[in-house]
Amino acid sequence: MKKIGIIWAVMLVLFCREHTVAQDPNFHIYLCLGQSNMEGPAAIEARDTTVNARFQVLAALDCPQLGRSQGQWYPAKPPLFRCNTRLSPADYFGRTMVAHLPETIRVGVVPVAVAGSKIEIFDKAEYQAYLDSSAAERPWMINMAKAYGGNPYERLVELARQAQKVGVIKGILIHQGESNTGDKAWPAKIQKLYDNLLVDLGLAPNSIPLLAGEVVNQDQGGKCASMNAIIATLPQTIPNAYVISSAGLPAVPDKLHFTSESIRQLGKRYAVQMLSLQGYGVRE
């Protein structure tokens, strides 16, 4: 019996060593969530089709046409979110990060977003009530949520936990607000989401930055531009939150979604802020 106990002890040590080594501190993970402007509203152009292998995406669902399987890592060639989405700020966030970080560091994104959705879709307790209340008006949004198993928040957490086995979560990127325009409770809802994510991922309170992008700006005639005044208050609610300006970034004719070039620039702005927080002085 004593011999068996020793064998089990050795196996346990080897198991722990294997899993400790598997987590690479130089693999920086970022959670990316929100609605359509995060999901990828803009056309993918030729310049967007090549990507540094150090920038990777964790597939959030099966996309046979892209050669991707849910839960596997791939070079972060767009689309990053669902199988038929387009260019996202997450694309040029990651590209800019690897361009300015040491070559020993890789960057990975965990993408879950649902076009047209309020932030309530990521409320771990209330998401189903929100989906049920939206079914008649936005059946297409329900189908998008179904792609994530009917619970986008849980899919995000599931993928993030998987990512933590091989890397370290360094931040959260969000672009959401158009569907919550005028909702003064939005910062508190984001705080609830942020706190829930940290608890569910075993991270200390306020331990990682949350970067929130503005919607199409008033200087571009944005239909939801009034929401930016509410987004601007987020750092008052979450001390480790930072607002990413959309000033000067043109929109397509609907005045809700950014052009491809604006999406690229917005992604770079997210990266410049994150790099600054990490001690790298980089300009847009």
**28, 36, 175, 262: the active-site residue:** 36
Looking at domain 24-277, does it have CATH number 3.40.50.970? Answer: no
DSSP 167: S
**Catalytic-residue membership of 254:** yes
Q: How confident is the model at residue 281 (pLDDT cuts 50, 70, 90)?
A: confident
Count how many Cα atoms sit within 13 Å of the Cα of residue 56 in the half-sphere of its side chain. 19
Q: How confident is the model at residue 4 (pLDDT cuts 50, 70, 90)?
A: very low
Rounded distance between C-alpha atoms, residue 163 and residue 148, angstroms: 17
Provide mean pLDDT across the span 137-146.
Answer: 94
Strand extents, DSSP E, 54-166: 55-58, 73-75, 106-113
- pLDDT tens profile 183-209: 999 999 999 999 999 999 999 999 999
**28, 117, 134, 257: the active-site residue:** 257
Kind and range of the H or E run holding 245: none
**Catalytic-residue membership of 219:** no
Looking only at the bridges linking them, the beta strands covering 55-58 and 241-244 are unpaired
- pLDDT tens profile 11-34: 444 444 444 447 999 999 999 999
Tell me if residue 237 falls in helix, strand or coil.
helix
**Catalytic-residue membership of 62:** no
Displacement of CA 33 from its chain's centroid (Å)? 4
Residues constituting the chain:
284
